[in-house]
Amino acid sequence: MRRVLLLNVTYEPLTTVGLRRAVCLVLGDKAEIVHEDTAGLLLHSATVEVVTPSVIRLRRYVRLPQRNRVPLTRAALMRRDNYRCVYCGRHGETIDHVIPRSRGGQHAWENCVAACQMCNHRKADRLLSELGWILPVAPAVPKGAHWRLIGAQFDGDPLWEAYLGTSAA
């Protein structure tokens, strides 16, 4: 699915949205196109023709709530681990508990990682020490106001770099 970077009025990056949602925001006059897609593709309907956006900006300021802790969701966890299995580096499709829940592991950021089905099945209900596996990076809670943009620099659109430079790291 094609993603579009959504900016606040202040050009602060908020999140990424799907192409359909971005076009709806533009057509509803809630956002404006800042950068068009580099391919220059057009979207057509019976009466309207819209350039495919890459970056859009809201017309009104949106205040983000300050959360003490980022909620653990499947999408946020996959984004944190860049959709990669932490054990082998392949595409991660499942969530694995480093310390299995059956052995007292919690369902928390510090104990959950993205894993491919093969590694998750191979690990099963065992500890990493039993398998001789090690984690390259300890899992942690995403930090910062822009946690929704974790991994956005890997989405591949070079037009986003100017907005993500320091905030999405």
Q: Where are the domains of the chain?
A: 3-66+145-164, 74-131
Distances (CA, A) of 115 to 6, 27, 95, 141: 29, 39, 6, 17
Give 107-145 pLDDT, tens digit per residue.
999 999 999 999 999 999 999 999 999 999 999 988 765
Q: How far is CA 155 from CA 2, 82, 87, in A?
A: 9, 10, 22
Q: What is the pLDDT of residue 146?
A: 63
Instruction: Give pLDDT, residue 149.
Output: 67
Digits of tens for pLDDT over the chain (169 positions)? 688 899 999 998 888 888 999 999 999 999 999 999 888 888 888 898 989 999 999 999 998 777 667 789 898 898 889 889 999 999 999 999 999 999 999 999 999 999 999 999 999 999 999 999 999 999 998 876 566 665 565 565 778 878 876 544 4
Backbone angles phi, psi at 51, to 5 degrees: -75, 140
Whole-number pLDDT of residue 18: 87
CA distances (Å), 114 to each of 74, 124, 130, 142, 150, in order? 9, 14, 19, 14, 14
Q: Measuring CA to CA, how many Å separate 124 from each of 91, 128, 146?
A: 18, 10, 34
Specify the 3-state DSSP secondary structure of 26: helix
Q: Cα separations (Å) of 12 from 88, 106, 111, 133, 163?
A: 35, 34, 31, 40, 7
Tracing tokens 């809630």 back to the chain, one arrives at 30
Q: What is the pLDDT of residue 40?
A: 81
How high is the pLDDT of residue 59? 97
**Cα 138 to Cα 29: distance, rounded to the nearest angstrom:** 44
Quickly name the fold that domain 74-131 has.
Answer: DNA Binding (I), subunit A (1.10.30)
